Structure 1
Amino acid sequence: MCSTSIPEAGEAQLRAQVEQLERMKAAAAAAQARATALWKAKRHAAEIAAGVPRSRRGRGLAAEVALARMDAPGRGGRHLGMATALVDEMPYTLAALENGQLTEWRATLILRESACLSLEDRRRLDAELCADPTRLQGWGDARVEAEAKRIACRLDVAAVVDRSAKAAADRCVTTRPAPDTMVYVTALLPVSQGVAVYAALKRSADTTFDDRTRGQIMADTLVERVTGQPADQPTSVSLNLVLADTTLLGDDAEPGWCQGYGPVPAAVVRALVSDAVTDKRAKATLRRLYRHPESGELVAMESKARTFPKGLAAFIDVRDQTCRTPYCNAPIRHHDHAHPHHRGGPTNAVNGLGECEACNYAKEAPGWTVSTSDDDGHHRAAFQTPTGATYWSTAPPLPGPPIRTVSVMENGLSIDIVTFAAA
């Protein structure tokens, strides 16, 4: 093991320590891959012995792997597939990772570029690229990826072309928060369409002359062509923008929360609401929500229906914000019963969970159990995996000023007054 850095160490010693720690990270990734592959083999053998049908074997294992790595369950399949490929199919890449000559990400790039090849060709690529790991010295991500792609094309160009043709099925649009109350909107498109979109925006910037920059013109044009309204028109606030009434009225500077984005500064929240209220072309609706006086979480709702009614589903969306499986960052797609409805689970806020599609299906695998509780206003969910591990998630509190307890003296007695605001 590498000792902890000490203030007296010289720069050369610290540089050597950084290098050693990087090699240790790579070696740990290789050891983790071996353990994951062995876990998969043991689970497979146990399911065969238990008579689990072939079509149901391995269900939920990827999600378990992700939870064990404190990662989003949606990435579990990648971790599991990478471990299997490294251990069973690409020994030279695994050795380079163990020796610290490849980082985990660069090993992932090699695996990704070889995924479309047959087992025989994948092993050829592995040997050609990594049998002599010293040639990898000084290679960055782009060089490793390009070399793996070049070899793959030479070994089986038809497979590479076929994969490219099928990739169009993965086209999608996603968002993620950016600094300073901005957001990245990313479109994954076939190359011809993506280039055409960018060229159209660029053409608009080339023919527009005002005080905006080229980038601003391209961004505004994108908004106008997608939404059908001018970029400077206030947006109708119909996006579950949650804030405390005290924040809305300017009594505090606590941030609000926007579904699909996250925390939003108080000044920006007030501006969004103000624009939507004062501009006749936009509209805003108001829904009152109340926080628990201790935890700050939402109060409960209940229904006797099997499916979650619209209002209760919206309640769960606001309370959970993202998929409630630990470490998952995906948006909510399903409103699920933690204790299954067919086993007597109620359709209420305590038993309800917001889940992404993949996590909802993963926990239906044999050996998984999910339970929920609501103690002192804290909505908690416990996910127990087939190996007996338990992972917890707690619903985040609503935005707004913190709950305050103020002590006052009256007639010689000390009285605690709890103050809190509705959200």
Structure 2
Amino acid sequence: MGMAAPEWYGSTPDTAAASRLARHNDIADSRFSGFSHSAVPEELLQLSSEILSLCGSYFNPIVLAHLDAALAHELAQQAQQQVQKADVLATEAIQEGRPTEALEHLAHRLATAKSFAAKATSQAAQASAVIEALGGAIGGGGAPSHGFDPAVLDQVHGAELIDTIAALEESKNAICAVQAQAQALFVAQQRLEQARAGVEKEKIGKGIAQQLALARHESPYRGRQLCQLSEVIVREMPCTMKAFTLGQINEYRASQLVSETAFLSYEDRATVDQRICGDPSAAALLGTREMCAKAKKLAYELDPQAFVKRHSKALSDRYVSLRPAADGMTFLTALIPLKQGVRILATLTRVAESAKAAGDERGKGQIMADSLMHRLIKHAPCDEGAGEVGDHRGPGTTPTPGSESSWGQHPPEGKLCTSVDQPEVAVELVMTDRALFGGAQDPAILVGYEPITAPTARSMILGDPDSGDFSPRVWLKRLFTHPENKSLLSMDSRARLFPDGIKEFLRLQDQRCQTPYCDAPIREYDHIKAYAAGGETTIENGQGLCSDCNKAKEAQGWMSQRVDPDTFGPPSVVVRTPTGHRYISTAPPLPG
């Protein structure tokens, strides 16, 4: 049976839901006009439920399959027309008695056109098969089959889709604005609750941002950012809040305005707020960089001394971080002063251009990345010897007798050194014995980062057999996992990196902070049941957390409880927040 086209194409959405969505701005503005606050959250929750229902039923994959099939058949038809055109030209050339070279060229053109047409026809047939596989019908109204249903295409209008996308974008922004307002209310309510409960003044506010982070499925760090955003934008930037509530600016641009005015006084921040977002429709036309540049310019005009002082203070915020990327790669990020950043990029660019000019087959980006790794890993002094500043030819250009230098480490004069060696830094790699010694393809885990492929893990331990590279020191330790759920049961005690074996066990078991949605590295080890409450210092009562989450769980109203795994489940911890909400933290399974 064919499936009819979804009703939302060319039709009006649910009137009740649409009218509620249109009242978003009225609800937001009414916060200053004496509304009954208890009714608004209930209406918003009902509206949210209806929006989720509408979003869940909006998309019909059959309609997308019809569009794909129509495109494939259109391309196949055009390809057939090219075949006919090439055939006519070849026939005319033969009749006119053109030279052999011209005939061969036209014959090749005809063969190529036929090949493309055959491939396009095959793809069109496959596209039509997808429609039938999804339960749709091809052809309609008794008309000859086109390989798709033209009636479905008539109900899809680009203008309406753009209107839908634009309206949803504004609605999404407005919903984020309501989230910010609700966050500000929640922070104030929780601080009051903590004060009434007798929490010391210095500790009031502890654990609040973490509750918001859990509710929004974000990390604690991001939760703090969202808390700070809502506090500032709701309390100090009414014009930005209005543009936000109207859907004219998104959460990111609002956060950028907050960041660019963080060092200003309340009065100056209000001035920037009014001049940028006083007209919400004008603010909507500003791009992110344009809005930030305008905010910086106004901030400098209003308080140049504070602006310069902020730039000087920013030097202390420099850092380097590492986060996982796809396919076993990582992002190495450095926040450094502008002058040094420009010099580093210019140096790497010069190295890459010189290497390319000398015939290096690597891409420019590859050479720049290899040069950066080489300079940070391989060499210590960079500008000694005969090379110019930035050339990095090594400590010298000629090896001295008895020296350990060789051209394998320090290239001859005039050649830039961009090779990369493996660093002698300890890494913790968890993999099965059959993957290490038997050539199995079980994925391995680089503790604290992400799973990697078995060949990559073997190369990190055994080196590249073709190059003869081998790691000089490898410690092997046996980990015993549950045969069903792959949770860690025990391990050898040899070659411990830390004196406390329990910490090492928990680090290998948990791998990352065990608070839901937090991907921070483990910094502290904590009792699930507090030691003061009788909790034992055992593996079963321990978990690895980041410093921030460990402090948050000590706030009033937080509670954690170990959940004994069933036969097929890894160990879990239930986290309960002061509002009674419950979140489950589960240790990731180990390979095998």
TM-score, normalised by the number of residues in structure 1: 0.87
Deviation, 1:20, is: 1.6
AA in 1 matched with 2:284: Q
Paired residues for 1:116-131 under 5 Å: 116-131=263-278
Q: Could you tell me how far apart the structure 2 residues matched to 1:281 and 1:332 are?
A: 27
Secondary structure of 1:295's partner? coil
Q: Could you tell me how far apart the structure 2 residues matched to 1:256 and 1:301 are?
A: 17
Corresponding residue for 1:391? 583
1:82 corresponds, among 209, 229, 233, to 229
AA in 2 matched with 1:227: I
Answer whether contact 1:276 1:283 (CA < 8 A) is retained. no
2:426 corresponds, among 223, 234, 238, to 238
Q: Work out whether 1:321 is the aligned partner of 2:471.
A: no
Deviation, 1:213, is: 3.5
2:352 corresponds, among 201, 205, 214, to 205
1:354 corresponds, among 544, 547, 551, to 544
AA in 2 matched with 1:223: M
Q: Work out whether 1:287 is the aligned partner of 2:473.
A: no
Answer whether contact 1:383 1:390 (CA < 8 A) is retained. yes
Corresponding residue for 1:220? 370
Deviation, 1:53, is: 2.4
Answer whether contact 2:478 2:492 (CA < 8 A) is retained. no
Q: Could you tell me how far apart the structure 1 residues matched to 2:350 and 2:289 are?
A: 30
Deviation, 1:107, is: 0.9
Q: Could you tell me how far apart the structure 2 residues matched to 1:213 and 1:186 are?
A: 21
Corresponding residue for 1:254? 442
Corresponding residue for 2:166? 19
Corresponding residue for 1:411? none
Return 243-252 or 57-66, whichever deviates more.
243-252
Paired residues for 1:259-338 under 5 Å: 259-275=447-463, 279=469, 282-300=472-490, 309-338=499-528
Q: Work out whether 1:380 is the aligned partner of 2:554.
A: no
For residues 268-312 of structure 1, the C-alpha deviation after alignment (integer angstroms, 9 at most, x for no partner) is: 222222208963563222111121111111115899xxxx95322
Return 361-370 or 341-350, whichever deviates more.
341-350
Q: Work out whether 1:102 is the aligned partner of 2:292.
A: no
AA in 2 matched with 1:271: S
Q: Could you tell me how far apart the structure 2 residues matched to 1:340 and 1:70 are?
A: 26
Return 347-356 or 335-344, whichever deviates more.
335-344
Q: Could you tell me how far apart the structure 1 residues matched to 2:590 and 2:492 are?
A: 20
Q: Could you tell me how far apart the structure 2 residues matched to 1:29 and 1:226 are?
A: 42
Q: Could you tell me how far apart the structure 1 residues matched to 2:473 and 2:362 are?
A: 28
Highest RCO, 1 vs 2 (Cα 8 Å, sep ≥ 6):
1
Secondary structure of 1:282's partner? coil
Answer whether contact 2:480 2:491 (CA < 8 A) is retained. no
What is the aligned residue count?
396
Secondary structure of 1:176's partner? strand
Q: Work out whether 1:167 is the aligned partner of 2:314.
A: yes
Answer whether contact 2:526 2:544 (CA < 8 A) is retained. yes
Q: Could you tell me how far apart the structure 1 residues matched to 2:564 and 2:492 are?
A: 14
Q: Could you tell me how far apart the structure 1 residues matched to 2:316 and 2:522 are?
A: 22
Q: Could you tell me how far apart the structure 1 residues matched to 2:171 and 2:259 are?
A: 23
> Structure 1 vs Structure 2: percent identity of aligned residues?
40
1:302/1:388 CA distance change after superposition, 3 Å: farther
Corresponding residue for 1:418? none
Deviation, 1:320, is: 1.0
Answer whether contact 1:336 1:352 (CA < 8 A) is retained. yes
1:152 corresponds, among 282, 299, 302, to 299
Q: Could you tell me how far apart the structure 2 residues matched to 1:280 and 1:366 are?
A: 53
Answer whether contact 1:338 1:371 (CA < 8 A) is retained. yes
Q: Could you tell me how far apart the structure 2 residues matched to 1:159 and 1:237 are?
A: 43
Secondary structure of 1:326's partner? coil
Could you tell me which runs of 5 or more consecutive residues in structure 1 were left unpaired when the two chains were aligned.
401-423
Deviation, 1:75, is: 1.3
Q: Work out whether 1:341 is the aligned partner of 2:488.
A: no
Q: Could you tell me how far apart the structure 1 residues matched to 2:474 and 2:194 are?
A: 54
Secondary structure of 1:348's partner? coil
More helix by share: 2
Deviation, 1:336, is: 1.5
Paired residues for 1:36-75 under 5 Å: 36-75=183-222
Deviation, 1:232, is: 3.8
Secondary structure of 2:554's partner? coil
Q: Work out whether 1:185 is the aligned partner of 2:332.
A: yes
1:131/1:276 CA distance change after superposition, 3 Å: same
Answer whether contact 1:302 1:312 (CA < 8 A) is retained. no
Larger radius of gyration: 2
Q: Could you tell me how far apart the structure 1 residues matched to 2:291 and 2:590 are?
A: 45
Q: Could you tell me how far apart the structure 2 residues matched to 1:77 and 1:274 are?
A: 43
Secondary structure of 2:480's partner? coil
Deviation, 1:31, is: 0.8
TM-score, normalised by the number of residues in structure 2: 0.63
Corresponding residue for 2:135? none
Corresponding residue for 1:368? 558
Corresponding residue for 1:134? 281
Q: Could you tell me how far apart the structure 2 residues matched to 1:192 and 1:268 are?
A: 37
Deviation, 1:372, is: 1.9
1:194 corresponds, among 341, 347, 355, to 341
Q: Could you tell me how far apart the structure 2 residues matched to 1:192 and 1:363 are?
A: 42
AA in 2 matched with 1:246: R
1:361/1:185 CA distance change after superposition, 3 Å: same
The RMSD of aligned alpha carbons is 2.4
Secondary structure of 2:198's partner? coil
For residues 244-266 of structure 1, the C-alpha deviation after alignment (integer angstroms, 9 at most, x for no partner) is: 12222345322211123301112
Answer whether contact 2:243 2:280 (CA < 8 A) is retained. yes
More strand by share: 1
AA in 2 matched with 1:328: C
Secondary structure of 2:489's partner? coil
Answer whether contact 1:5 1:14 (CA < 8 A) is retained. no
Answer whether contact 1:257 1:264 (CA < 8 A) is retained. yes
Corresponding residue for 1:416? none
